[in-house]
Structure 1
């Protein structure tokens, strides 16, 4: 595990993992006939700030976190680094005030009450353009609480974000449903993105694809990939 590897060994491990992931991305782009490579967001949840610092030394500029308490602590500890922080987990309205202090992009906006809370927090913090992605539920049969707005709800939610001072609508995010064909799921997401871009030309971000399905996301046209395990390995043991 990471805690048993010296700093130099951990750096070499992360470098090798990053190389493999970047080669997968390049190969996926070539297979899809894409000239542009999507941005890599390394999801660092459950891994220590020391790993994030090593990743920054290796050229990583974008990191993703799922839990506010962990993310806020890491962002404070690593404030000297030129990182872009992406909050990608489900977000409770009572965490909005905390999240806006460090997050550059929020990927998981799925309801109007959250837009209101983020707008209020952004205004209090003096923010003008906090980038917001609408999380799209690509599986309407998913259990409640799974997160994500239904595709039919996206236009109104996007408009609400655009109308809220301190926030800007930046695009869409989704997770391919378990057991579903990720290629088909991501094609549905791209259709939602196209509708959004028709109304908000600057909302070009499409956050899709993880370690197990990044090739499908690249083929569909994702602009940002969220990769955790294939870069950092299994989560550290707790206790």
Structure 2
């Protein structure tokens, strides 16, 4: 091929689905049933089909390979991965998507996946097919940054939650323990972040905890930074 010849490539979508399960950050993985990297864990994804836009392809692949519906998730485009040698089959570029959701059900494998399962993010580093380790690392860092500057942490929570539930999301995603009183003060002083429902949740120990739902704000002013969230 000369420098003036056109390069024909194929396009795929890959999905990083993050959720909090059992107080740990988990990612949705499949076990590949086809070569290359057969039997290796990988992020769900696949090739763009004719007549689809990228989001439609991402939602279809998620449903086909795991049984989960992307239409109900917060799904955002993460980045384009275009290293010429990222796929041994040839020039195949990938558009990665990040999704955050509350504790999701056990996925059901389908399509070209042998199985689908949730895995602790810390347990799978260095184990994934293609360049999916890099994609996962980028997605986790994007999620951590999003929690600093946006209200996206509520996407990990159910319709109603306590401030303790929200703090747990930050602690799990950031991987650090936060001061409860300081965190509560920052959250409640941020206009539009969360709003009280008027209900309470009975705790096994202590007083009932007030319930909240996500507010109308999309960004945090001021941000809740990792370096200051746990200190007075």
Same fold flag (TM > 0.5): no
Whichever structure has more helix as a proportion of its residues is 1
Whichever structure has more strand as a proportion of its residues is 2
TM-score by length of 1: 0.26
TM-score by length of 2: 0.27
Q: Answer with 1 or 2: which has the greater Rg.
A: 2
